[in-house]
Amino acid sequence: AQTVTQSQPEMSVQEAETVTLSCTYDTSESDYYLFWYKQPPSRQMILVIRQEAYKQQNATENRFSVNFQKAAKSFSLKISDSQLGDAAMYFCAYRSADFGNEKLTFGTGTRLTIIP
Amino acid sequence: GAVVSQHPSWVICKSGTSVKIECRSLDFQATTMFWYRQFPKQSLMLMATSNEGSKATYEQGVEKDKFLINHASLTLSTLTVTSAHPEDSSFYICSVGSEYYEQYFGPGTRLTVT
């Protein structure tokens, strides 16, 4: 079974600065997908970014980028120019690429606080 | 991405009664929907995978007779908590799988059993 580990329960960053959230995972599969989801106080889960394991290029979405290290099974999220609206719980998630196996496995989350 | 709604957003029920939570995919035909449970300050735990027109697949440890899931159409899945007890109080979230491999989530339903 796959596992996802987020070793930072809480992080804080000054507004406009850059912060990196860590995620590692364990799998025996070679093809899979990785995601970062954000859960603000409203508790609505919002997709931040996704990465296909077969792609070597790191995904980027505006201020959000990932550092995907497949051999190390590491998938960190970098938030640049942090904004107050970035304050939330961030969950790393894994999904197999196998057809019919669409389950997401989540990490325990990192609570990000933005300091004005 | 897909737009997913849940109803109700918050429900309070008495111990021993049953409560139904609806999950609707508003702009996407979903053959598969997922139901999660989230306790305060914890991560999401998958309860079951709901497949349109067939029986749901439950995760290990989830009582299928207590958490009844029905996926009657491509846009609607329901979760019924039967004979609810205070320990069933939690935040229940549904999601829809998309053609791009990610899942889109509903806003969640807070269940309080008194």
In angstroms, rounded to a whole number, what is the distance separating the alpha carbons of residues A31 and A98? 8
Q: Using CA atoms, how far apart are residues B21 and B92, in angstroms rounded to an integer?
A: 9
The partner residue sitting opposite A47, judged by closest CB among B32, B34, B102, is: B102
- Tens of pLDDT, residues B4-63: 999 999 999 999 999 999 999 998 888 899 999 999 889 999 999 998 888 899 999 999
Q: How far is CA A70 from the centre of its chain?
A: 14
Q: Tell me what pLDDT residue A99 has.
A: 80
Distance separating alpha carbons of residues B60 and B77, to the nearest angstrom? 20
Instruction: List, in order, residues 6 or more apart from A45 with CB less than 8 Å away.
Output: A37, A38, A39, A91, B44, B93, B95, B105
Q: Is residue A103 predicted with pLDDT exceeding 80?
A: yes
Q: Over pLDDT 90: what percentage of chain A?
A: 91
Half-sphere exposure of residue A113, counting CA atoms within 13 Å on the CB side?
6
Q: Is the Cβ of B44 closer than 8 Å to some Cβ of chain A?
A: yes
Residue B99 has pLDDT above 80, yes or no: no
Q: Judge whether B23 and B76 are in contact, CB under 8 Å.
A: yes
Can you count the helices (H) and strands (E) in chain A? 0, 12
CB-nearest partner of A45 from B42, B93, B100: B93
pLDDT digits (tens, 9 = 90+) for A80-97: 999 999 999 999 999 999
CB B92 within 8 A of CB B4: no
Q: B1 pLDDT band (50/70/90 cuts)?
A: confident
Contacts of B101 in chain A (CB under 8 A): 33, 50, 52, 95, 97, 102
What is the per-residue pLDDT across A15-44, written as a single tens digit (0 to 9) for each?
999 999 999 999 999 999 999 999 999 999
Tell me: the pLDDT tens digits for A35-69? 999 999 999 999 999 999 999 899 999 999 999 99
Q: How much is the pLDDT for A91?
A: 98
8 Å CB contact of A45 and B100? no
Spatial CA neighbour of A50 closest among A34, A38, A39? A34
Distances (CA, A) of B10 to A31, B15, B19, B105: 39, 16, 11, 16
E-strand stretches of A40-103:
46-52, 60-61, 64-69, 74-79, 88-96
Render the burial of B30-43: b for 16+ CB within 10 Å, e for the rest: bebbbbbbbeeeeb
Cross-chain CB nearest to A104 (options B100, B103, B108): B103
Checking if the pLDDT of B97 tops 90, the result is: no
Question: Residue B93 CB: number of other CB atoms within 10 A?
Answer: 25
Closest Cα to residue A79, out of A36, A29, A116? A36
pLDDT at B101 over 80: yes
